Every structure is written in structure tokens, then in C-alpha cells.
Amino acid sequence: MKKIVNYLCAPRLRVDSISKNFQNKNILNNVSLSLYPGEVLCLLGDSGCGKTSLLRIIAGLDKYFYGEILINEEIVSSADIYISPDKRPISMLFQDYALFPHMTVEENIKYGLKDLKKDQKTYKVNKIIDDLGLTLHKTKYPHELSGGEQQRVALARATAPEPIILLMDEPFNGLDRSLREYVREETISVLRNSEAAVIAVTHDPEEAMIMGDRIALMRDGEIVQVGTNEEMIFNPLDKYTVNTFSNVNTYESKVKSNQVITPFGKFDSNGIEDGNDVEVLIRDQAFSVTDATTNNSYIVRQIDFTGEKSRMQLSAIDSEDVIKITIPGKSSIKLNDKIGLSVDNRYVHIFN
């Protein structure tokens, strides 16, 4: 369950107009975002878009950039100020976990607890180990643990100092699918019970939707859009956002009388003026199957059942259009069946 985040309070972290160049290439270009207390913000984008570079700048591991980083409204990085990583209330969970191979599970978790007395440190570490189900592995070394167990130890070490900000760089990327889902759920549960504000990097849109209170979508070193799951699906700012979260059917049209015409009927132009050429993007989940009629008939050419949904490729009876749709679960529809389609307008997006 996701927390209710108070977006009216002051942000825990503020990234203000961050830019970074390397060998005459823009790595980051004027990136700004805010992170609020208790929030999980997923930083989503393809490999090479600048996600990890932004995380390193926030953590203080990279100080060669333009712009400002503020924690609790105090500058920790700017052209004139630089607070070292060990002086920032930030923990970072790396993709490869970065556990110390010569330390046991207990010693790895204790590592960041430098300001506690010995008995306090022992009590806290034992509680964390018990909460994360690591009691039987307490004296083991990292190489004796499975991938999921290593991830839990890394999470324990990162959260033990009770940081106000936790940065996670694709922490589930090295796990197979079933283990990844289990460990991710376990991690989310731990994070929801903590007070940390979290930035989690991922290249998987579904993972971002599951984990994040909000998603910051990146492309080529820039933030394309920041918003909730609903905003990303129902109010995308551009075609890239639509394509990131869905397979789409794309049609070219022209606005006439504040409407655009598609093979599936007319749709409101959403304020785009008459005469403008537009692209109409219809998400594959926009379609529902109906009975075929004379003016609404498609032949099923391909069906792929994934266990949770069925993806179909259709061809129109009266045109050369190929349509891709996704419907929940297993359908009784068979190859070469004729079906009709209805469209949910919420999944139709128009851009000029």
C-alpha cells in the first residue's frame, strides 16, 4: 500500500537546474525535481539517459556539474558549496549491492552505525536482522548468500543509519523474475515503514508504476514528465510518455470542427485548432471486444497469451489497417474470428 504523501510541506530534497557535460556531450540538461518526506519517487528511463549520473550528483559522489542540490532547504552542492557524501544524511543502495566481502552480514550492517554505543548498535542490528529474516545468515559472508539475501543485507545496511534520503540504483536488476518480485515487495514494505524519502532508479515502467508514489520520466538527460501513475497514463505531456507505458496504435489525422477522425470514430481535438495535422495515439488497452457489425469488423490474425492478459493483432475488413489490442486474462476468441471494437476515450491521446 502506498503512503499518503504531503506535497504541501517543504521538500526533503530539491534538485535545481542540474546540468552536466562530459567530453562535449550533455549528460544532464537543466534537470529539476523535488522529493518529499516519506515519498518513493521512481526515476525511470532507458540506459544512458542520465539516471545514475543524477543519483551520483545527489549523493555527492560527483561534484562537477552546474546547478544546486538542497536537502531540507539547505544547499549541499552548488558552484560555491560542496558537502562531502559522508556528511550528507543520504544512504545509497547500489545495483551490485557493494557489500564488503571480508565482513559478515552482521558486520556489514553495523558498518554505518558509527555514532551509537556498542550495546545500542548490537540491539539495532539484531532487530534489523530479525525484521528482514536474516537471523540464520548473521555470521555468513556475502559469497555464502543468494542474490536475494545479499539484496536484503544491502537494504539493511542502507537503512540502518535511518537516513532521511535513500537512493537506490536499479537494486533488483540482477535478480530473476520471481525472486525480483518477491524481494521488491519485501523492500517496498520496509521502505513504507521507514521515514526515508526514496529515489529508486529503474528502466522498467511496470516496476516504476508498482513502486512509485510518483514517477520522473527521463530521456536524453532531461526530465520529460513527473507525475503519479494516473497522470502518466491519462495526462501524458508528449508521445514519448505514451509510448513508455503502453503499446500504441498511431494514426495521422487533421483537426476539423474541433474533432479528429480515426478508423474508430471521431475524437475531441482537446483544444488543438482546426486545420492542424495531428497524430492520434490509441493505447492497446483502450479497446474492448464487441460483436462484429458491417461497419465494425476485424479479423484476429495473432493471439499471444501471457498468463495475465491476451495480446492480439487484428486486420480491418475494409482497409489495410493493422490493430494491436490487449485484453485482460484468457479470451475465448480464436484465430480468424471476426470481432468488433469499442474504444475508451481516456486512452486516446492527440498531439500536433
pLDDT value at position 1? 58
The average confidence (pLDDT) of the chain is 91
pLDDT tens-digit map of 299-336: 999 999 988 899 999 999 878 889 999 999 998 999 99
The CATH T-level fold of domain 13-242 is: Rossmann fold (3.40.50)
Q: Exposure string (b/e) for 286-317, b if CB count within 10 Å is 16 or more? A: bbebeebeeebbbebeeeeeeeebbebebeee
Question: Which residues belong to CATH 3.40.50.300 in the chain?
Answer: 13-242
Q: What is the mean pLDDT of residues 40-67?
A: 94
Query: In which residue are the cell numbers 483537426 written?
Result: 255
Residue scoring higher pLDDT (44 or 170) = 44
If you average pLDDT over residues 3-23, what whole number do you get? 90
Q: Does domain 247-351 have CATH number 2.40.50.140?
A: yes
Reply yes or no on whether the pLDDT at 279 is more than 90.
yes
Q: State the span(s) of the chain assigned CATH 2.40.50.140.
A: 247-351
Q: Is the pLDDT of residue 215 over 70?
A: yes
Q: What is the pLDDT of residue 140?
A: 94
Given a cut of 80, whether residue 115 has pLDDT beyond it is no
What are the pLDDT digits (tens) for 241-260? 999 999 999 999 999 999 99
Of the candidates 219, 110, 197, 196, the one whose C-alpha atom is nearest the C-alpha of residue 156 is 110
Residue 143 has pLDDT above 90, yes or no: yes
Residue 189: its pLDDT value, please?
A: 81
